[in-house]
Amino acid sequence: MLNLLNRSRWSPYVVGAGIGILSWITFGLMHKALGTSTSFVSAAGAIESLVAPDHVRANEYFVKTFLGEGKFFLDWQMMLVIGLFLGALISARLGRSYHVEKVPELWASRFGPGRARRYAAAFLGGVLVLFGARLADGCTSGHGISGGLQLAVSSWTFFISFFAAGLITAMLVYGKAGRRHAQG
Amino acid sequence: MLKADPNLWNLITGLLTGLVFGFLLQRGAVTRFRTIVGQFLWTDHTVLRTMLTAVVVGSIGVYAMHQLWDVPLHLKSATLLANALGGLIFGIGMAVLGYCPGTGVGAMGEGSRHAIFGVLGMLTGAALYAEVYPWVKATILPVGDLGKTTLAVQTGLSPWIIILVLAAAAGALFAILACRGHCSHHRAEPRLSPR
């Protein structure tokens, strides 16, 4: 067991089974399903409320997500997202795999080592990721794992759709040279 | 304006769940740009192996608890156009960013600096969606709205049949991917050696 804790990388089957069992616990004991992207709406609304509180209070989606009756800003899922950050940090430190990455190698092989370009692309990618997740009503956790394991029609539709879009986009962006680089 | 859930149990269990989830994602290396983009380039299958294993293992326990002890499901409505369109936008963004929301937060924890810009973009994307939500609700969400439904309900099959098919399909895919890794090595080597 201690040996496993020291190993910096675990088999995807061990990790997958672990997440599956974690889902048993969240469904059975907490009456919740793993998810993360809703908390980004609460966080965005909280930040926006610093400059335009009335605008946020009047927004239907913010009310539905964290301002309305029985909804909270700091809730189970927001704590999960905070825990996720800390859990990854602890794991990386214990497994000695913490490392500062500014521009990933694969990205640099295609677009050069410039930081500004990478940071701008990451930002735009992030905009699409969360906008898409909210339109679909879930992300790789809420739909991909929690919805997938419940055999939800919504989630399997999302899964097929995002995976196909990811495959096509990556092939278009990196091409064959990128594939070779990723393999090597 | 910013309320906290007065039920402390929810906050504590949420934090613990996140700690375990983050730990697992980091150990599984899915908090890495290279792993996620590698999956989309079809050179690294860690993401598919992790997700499909989680889904199959999770489904068995959750459906067993649902049937034995009435543990409730938490289904999201099948608003098919929104699920598909949202998935497309999400997939494009994920291939460019190299993270999804959960793994992006985890990547910040393991030292990725560009993930910070990704998360800032995500917050912006969430705010943008909140602005257009009334329009989306009126025009996109009603298209193909089947309600909170499952593949079992739609096909009339037992969920256990579907779980069995899913497990078999995942097992077959894992076997094919594992074999192809070996086979391509064996095939590539003799061709390269004469030069």
- Reported as a single tens digit per residue, the pLDDT across A89-123 is 999 999 999 999 999 999 999 999 999 999 999 99
Phi/psi at A38 (5° precision): -60, -35
Indicate whether A2 pLDDT > 80: no
What residues make up the domain containing A158?
103-184
Residues A84 and A111 in one domain: no
Final residue before a domain boundary, out of A65, A82, A99:
A99
Residues A91 and A113 in one domain: no
What pLDDT score does B188 carry?
44
Structural domain boundaries of chain B?
Answer: 24-74+149-176, 76-147
For residue A17, the Cα-to-chain-centroid distance in whole angstroms is 19
Task: Indicate the helix (H) or strand (E) that contains A181.
Answer: helix A153-183
Residues A148 and A87 in one domain: no
A44 or A179: which leads in pLDDT: A44
Structurally, chain A folds into a number of domains equal to 2
Residues A83 and A39 in one domain: yes
Residues A93 and A25 in one domain: yes
What pLDDT score does B186 carry?
46
For B11-32, how does the pLDDT look when each residue is reduced to its tens digit (9 = 90+)? 999 999 999 999 999 999 999 9
Residues A44 and A91 in one domain: yes
Q: Which of the four pLDDT bands, split at 50, 70 and 90, describes residue B187? A: very low
Residues A87 and A132 in one domain: no
ipTM of the complex as predicted: 0.96
Phi/psi at B76 (5° precision): -100, 145
- How much is the mean pLDDT over chain B? 93
Min distance B164 CA to chain A CA atoms (Å): 12
Between positions 33 and 92 of A, the ones with CB within 8 A of B are 33-34, 36-37, 40-41, 43-49, 53, 56-57, 59-62, 66-67, 71-92
DSSP lists the bridge partners of residue B147 as B78
Question: A15, B125: Cβ pair inside 8 Å?
Answer: no
For B98-146, how does the pLDDT look when each residue is reduced to its tens digit (9 = 90+)? 999 999 999 999 999 999 999 999 999 999 999 999 999 999 999 999 9
Nearest to A139 by CA among B165, B72, B129, B19: B129
Give me the half-sphere count of Cα atoms (radius 13 Å) on the Cβ side of residue B71.
Answer: 22
Residues A132 and A60 in one domain: no
What pLDDT score does A11 carry?
96
Nearest to A84 by CA among B149, B25, B32: B25
Whole-number Å distance between alpha carbons of B107 and B113: 8
